[in-house]
Every structure is written in structure tokens, then in C-alpha cells.
């Protein structure tokens, strides 16, 4: 029996977050340039998005470029930005056909102008799609996001719109870029690295973490389904004890 058949569709995670890692090593293993790994990684994104749509995942958030990734060699950064633009433009039609809404989180203003424009246009075109929301984390870092949220709250307090004592988890969450999305129940990181790398720190407070050695360009929907099956075997206690759970 394949992993897909083992999934209990009544207990699917609503939101899956993925740190797509290992493109560079995948390319290097074959004596190719890192950019080739990134290009191949796009095929994985497409397959995973289709896999999510197939089984009914409502939110998929993928870490495509971190704030820290700006520190990579300029040729690699440029190649990634080019790839982003090409991919967005190539895939918008398919997103629409599959009823997928494209969303982006991160410091979008720091991206190249062409990237901002094409991203915005693709987001506009897919804005009314309802089957699944695909969020690209671009120039994203969780610490950046949390600081931005703190600043927004400070402005509201200063303007007398809210009282300091009114600030609670819900209020804070509403300032984050993931507003209107549930927190991810499952986070997958490929490539054998066991770290969060500044991704969704607030939102992943109680997320189930799944790490696999598979490099991102080799990751396919069957691997996603395997991660979901693993997730469904876990007991999420949220601080309680087993006996308290139904």
C-alpha cells in the first residue's frame, strides 16, 4: 500500500510548511552548478503543490528565499530571482486552472522591481481561487516579521487605538504576515538539516517537525504523503497528558 492510501483524509493538516533545502548539494553531487539544483527544485514544488491539491491541503507555505540568503554570491542570488520571475509567469495559468491562490510573505519590497510586479500580477490573477493557498516565503525571516509586528502594535498604542493590556496572542498574530492562515500543523525540512533557519518562529510554536535526508529536487508527492502519515501517528498533547485527550 502506498503512503497516499494510508492517509486519513479526515485528519489532514490544514497547513503544511516546507523548508525546501538541498538544491545546491543535489547539483554539486552531479558536478553541476548550484543554479541547476534550484531549477530542478521547481519541479519538486510543482509536484508537491499538485499533491497537496490532490488530497485537499488548504495551505502550503514554502520557504523559497530567506533574508539571510541575500548574503549568498551575487550570481546565485540573481539566478534565484530570475528563476522566481520565470516560474511565476509560467505557472500562473496552472495555478488558476487548479483553483490555487498565490500568496507571498516576507520583505517583498526588497525584491527586484520586476519580481515585485510579476508577483503582484500573479497574486491578483489568482486572488479569488479557493481550493488551496500557496504562500511563497520570499526575503522572509521570522525575526524580521516579529519585529515588524511589534512596530505595528507600537504605532497602534501610540495612536491610542489600543491599550497595552489589550495585546494578546490573537492580537499579535493578526500583525504577522500569516494573518488569515492557521498555524502550520506540520513542517517538513528536506536535506538532513535539523534547524528552523528563521522560518515561522511564532507560527511553529506547536508545529510537528518532520526532517528527511532527501534533497529538495528529489522530493516528490509520495515523500509528502509519507510525512503526512508520520504526522498522523503522532499524539499532539499541547501540554496535556494522554489521558486527557479523546
Task: Please name the residues in contact with 158: beta carbons below 8 A apart, sequence gap of 6 or more.
Answer: none
* DSSP conformational letter for 64: E
Return the number of the residue (121 or 197) whose C-beta is nearest ligand IPE: 197
Could you say whether residue 24 binds ligand IPE (CB under 6 A)? yes
Could you give the 3-state DSSP secondary structure of residue 152?
A: helix
Task: Please report, in angstroms and rounded to a whole number, the separation of the first and last CA atoms in the chain.
Answer: 28
How far apart CA 108 and CA 194 sit, in angstroms, is 27
Note the Cα 238 to chain centre separation in Å: 23
Is 26 assigned a ligand-binding role in the annotation?
yes
| Residue of 12, 15, 21, 59 that binds ligand IPE (CB under 6 A) | 21
Is 237 assigned a ligand-binding role in the annotation?
no
Stretch that binds ligand IPE, among 81-89, 176-184, 189-197, 205-213 (CB under 6 A): 189-197
- For residues 93 and 59, is the Cβ–Cβ distance under 8 A? no
| Residue of 12, 20, 122, 153 that binds ligand IPE (CB under 6 A) | 20
- Spell out, one character per residue from 42 to 71, where the chain touches ligand IPE: x when CB under 6 A holds, - when not: ---------------------xxxx-xx--
Return the number of the residue (17 or 64) whose C-beta is nearest ligand IPE: 64
Window 83 to 122, contacts with ligand IPE (CB under 6 A):
none
How far apart CA 200 and CA 205 sit, in angstroms, is 9
Stretch that binds ligand IPE, among 18-26, 144-152, 164-172, 179-187 (CB under 6 A): 18-26
- Spell out, one character per residue from 141 to 180, where the chain touches ligand IPE: x when CB under 6 A holds, - when not: ----------------------------------------
In 10-112, where does DSSP find H-type helix? 23-29, 34-55, 74-97
Concerning whether 47 is annotated as a catalytic residue, the answer is no
User: Cα–Cα distances in Å, from 123 out to 18, 35, 115, 132?
Assistant: 20, 25, 12, 13
Looking at the DSSP bridge assignments, the partners of residue 187 are 17, 209
CB of 141 to ligand IPE, least distance (A): 9
Residue 195 binds: one of Mg ion, ligand IPE, none (C-beta under 5 to 8 A by kind) = ligand IPE
User: Which residues contribute to the annotated binding site for substrate?
Assistant: 22-26, 34, 38, 66-68, 70, 72, 189, 195-197
Amino acid at each position: 500500500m502506498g503512503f497516499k492510501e494510508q492517509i486519513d483524509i479526515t485528519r489532514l493538516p490544514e497547513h503544511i510548511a516546507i523548508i525546501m533545502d538541498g538544491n545546491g548539494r543535489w547539483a554539486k553531487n552531479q558536478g553541476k552548478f548550484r543554479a541547476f539544483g534550484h531549477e530542478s527544485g521547481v519541479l519538486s514544488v510543482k509536484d508537491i503543490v499538485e499533491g497537496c491539491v490532490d488530497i485537499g491541503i488548504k495551505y502550503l507555505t514554502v520557504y523559497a528565499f530567506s533574508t539571510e540568503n541575500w548574503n549568498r554570491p551575487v550570481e546565485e542570488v540573481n539566478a534565484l530571482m530570475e528563476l522566481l520571475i520565470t516560474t511565476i509567469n509560467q505557472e500562473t495559468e496552472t495555478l488558476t486552472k487548479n483553483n490555487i491562490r498565490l500568496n507571498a510573505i516576507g520583505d517583498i519590497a526588497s525584491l527586484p522591481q520586476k519580481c515585485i510586479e510579476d508577483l503582484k500580477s500573479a497574486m491578483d490573477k489568482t486572488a479569488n481561487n479557493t481550493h488551496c493557498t500557496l504562500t511563497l516565503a520570499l526575503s522572509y525571516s521570522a525575526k524580521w516579521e516579529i519585529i515588524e509586528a511589534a512596530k505595528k502594535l507600537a504605532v497602534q498604542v501610540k495612536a491610542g487605538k489600543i491599550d497595552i493590556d489589550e495585546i494578546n496572542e490573537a492580537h499579535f498574530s493578526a500583525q504577522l504576515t500569516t494573518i488569515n492562515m492557521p498555524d502550520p500543523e506540520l513542517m517538513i525540512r528536506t536535506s538532513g538539516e535539523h534547524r528552523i533557519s528563521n522560518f515561522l518562529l511564532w507560527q511553529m510554536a506547536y508545529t510537528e517537525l518532520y526532517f528527511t535526508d532527501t534533497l529538495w529536487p528529489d522530493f516528490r508527492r509520495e515523500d509528502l504523503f509519507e510525512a503526512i502519515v508520520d504526522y498522523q501517528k503522532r499524539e499532539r498533547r499541547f501540554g496535556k497528558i494522554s489521558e486527557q485527550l479523546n
